[in-house]
Amino acid sequence: MSALGNAIDQIKGQLNSLVLGVKRQLFGANNERLDFFMDSFYKLSPQQRMAVVTGVGAVVGLFVFLALMLYFAQVAKLRDDLNEGFAAMHEIRRLRLAYEVENKNYEKLIDTVQRKTKQVSLKPFFEKIANDLSVTIEGINDQKVPLAADNPLSEKLQEVRVEMRLPNISIPKLLSFIVEIEKSGKYLRVQDLQIRARYGTKLFFDGQIKVRGYDVSS
């Protein structure tokens, strides 16, 4: 509370300067006006003196009351300002701690994505799964697309989109192909799947898959 004490001392100094200025204006630099007032006061009758003393006392009392009111009002205002300042400081500290926690989580996520995807070449990756399952792939097309600017991940991540056709494939193998993609741990997910019947057979179909994933921006 040293700041509050210093502020109170400043207010006291300002009040003292104000009192000295008023005193100089009323009584003069060397109290010459006070001597004149005293001479004039003693020339008055007792009733007039009593009235003057009462009036001066009332004025002084009013002045002291107003000065005290101003003093306590300034102290209260200063105390409120300090309380608001301390509350804002605590809120900033709380937000900073929350930011540090979220930033660590963010960096951890980026590091995880980078470790999982940095050595992945998409076309060989899908071709290997197809070969393991004896599945034919046609027309693999991949592209990297920036994330939306309002996405908090857009600074370091970008979206990967892959599209391919799987002609003459059975439903069990198609499902196995999708499962192998999503369980690979490469942050790849099937976003869209289209299946078309083939003429003359009920066991095989033509499939088209759209896969979405993430990659660390270079």
Question: Are 86 and 37 within one domain?
Answer: yes
Q: Residues 155-178: what's their mean pLDDT?
A: 90
How confident is the model over 120-162, as pLDDT tens digits? 788 888 999 999 999 999 989 988 888 888 887 788 888 889 9
Chain position carrying tokens 């205002």: 77
Domains in the chain: how many in total?
Answer: 2
Question: Are 101 and 14 within one domain?
Answer: yes
CB 140 within 8 A of CB 161: no
The predicted pLDDT at position 13 comes to 67
Assess if residue 200 is contained within a domain: yes
Question: Are 74 and 158 within one domain?
Answer: no
Which of 88, 110, 132 is where one domain is finished? Answer: 110
Q: Residues 110-119: what's their mean pLDDT?
A: 75
Assess if residue 71 is contained within a domain: yes
CA nearest neighbour of 215 among 148, 121, 149, 133: 121
Taking all residues of the chain, what is their mean pLDDT, rounded to a whole number? 80
pLDDT of 29 strictly over 80: no
Which of 77, 110, 143 is where one domain is finished? Answer: 110
Question: Are 61 and 144 within one domain?
Answer: no
CA-to-CA distance for 160 and 143, rounded, in angstroms?
A: 6
CA-to-CA distance for 114 and 111, rounded, in angstroms?
A: 5
The CATH number for 161's domain is: 3.30.70.60
Question: Are 60 and 151 within one domain?
Answer: no
Domain with 89 in it:
2-110
Question: Are 68 and 90 within one domain?
Answer: yes
How confident is the model over 84-93, as pLDDT tens digits? 888 888 889 8
Question: Are 22 and 78 within one domain?
Answer: yes
Question: Are 91 and 172 within one domain?
Answer: no
Question: Are 146 and 192 within one domain?
Answer: yes
The tokens describing 208, both together, are 């088209």
CA nearest neighbour of 160 among 94, 211, 203: 211
CA-to-CA distance for 41 and 34, rounded, in angstroms?
A: 10
pLDDT of 96 strictly over 80: yes
pLDDT of 187 strictly over 90: no
Assess if residue 78 is contained within a domain: yes
Helix spans in 118-217 (H): 122-133, 171-182
Question: Are 25 and 65 within one domain?
Answer: yes
pLDDT of 210 strictly over 80: yes
The tokens describing 83, both together, are 């309380």
Radius of gyration of the chain (CA): 43
pLDDT exceeding 70 applies to what percent of the chain? 76
Question: Are 144 and 105 within one domain?
Answer: no
Q: DSSP character for 187?
A: S
Which of 83, 110, 137 is where one domain is finished? Answer: 110
Beta bridge partners of residue 180, listed in sequence order: none
Strand ranges (DSSP E) for the chain? 138-146, 157-169, 188-197, 205-216
How many CA atoms are closer than 13 Å to the CA of 14, on its beta-carbon side?
Answer: 12
The predicted pLDDT at position 6 comes to 65
pLDDT of 208 strictly over 90: yes
